Amino acid sequence: GDSVVQTEGQVLPSEGDSLIVNCSYETTQYPSLFWYVQYPGEGPQLHLKAMKANDKGRNKGFEAMYRKETTSFHLEKDSVQESDSAVYFCALSGSSGSARQLTFGSGTQLTVLP
């Protein structure tokens, strides 16, 4: 079956640091890839997405490149802010495009230190 691996459970950069949150996936399909963000006390919300290989998702200074050759979708930002603190989930959706086929990673808690 499909799987999504986020290697870091928690990251603690200081404000202004650069950020990479790793996401690797396994699937036999041609997936769409997503990052969802969950702020404290709220449900997750779509942060950015990429529908096919070599697409780049962008939102609020964050970027993620859909790399088929390395089966990765790492989340990056040049300079993080305290307001970026949240839990970030990587997810993939199978070829059918159905949410039933959404597979989520275990999440990465980002805490930006002042």
Q: Given candidates 43, 69, 70, 114, which one binds other proteins under the rule CB under 8 A?
A: 43
Pattern of binders to other proteins over 58-77, x per CB under 8 A? --------------------
Please state, in angstroms and rounded to a whole number, the distance separating the CA atoms of residues 75 and 72. 10
Structure tokens at 111: 């805490």
32 lies in the site for other proteins, by CB under 8 A: yes
CA 59 distance to own-chain centroid: 11
Q: Compute how many residues bind other proteins; rule: CB under 8 A.
A: 24
- Encoded one letter per residue, x for contact with other proteins by CB under 8 A and - for no contact, window 87-106 reads --x---x---xxxxxx-xxx
Q: How many CA atoms lie within 13 A of 31 on its CB side?
A: 29
For residue 85, how many C-alpha atoms fall within 13 Å in the half-sphere facing its CB? 12
Sites of contact with other proteins (CB under 8 A): 4, 9, 32, 34, 36, 41-46, 49, 89, 93, 97-102, 104-107
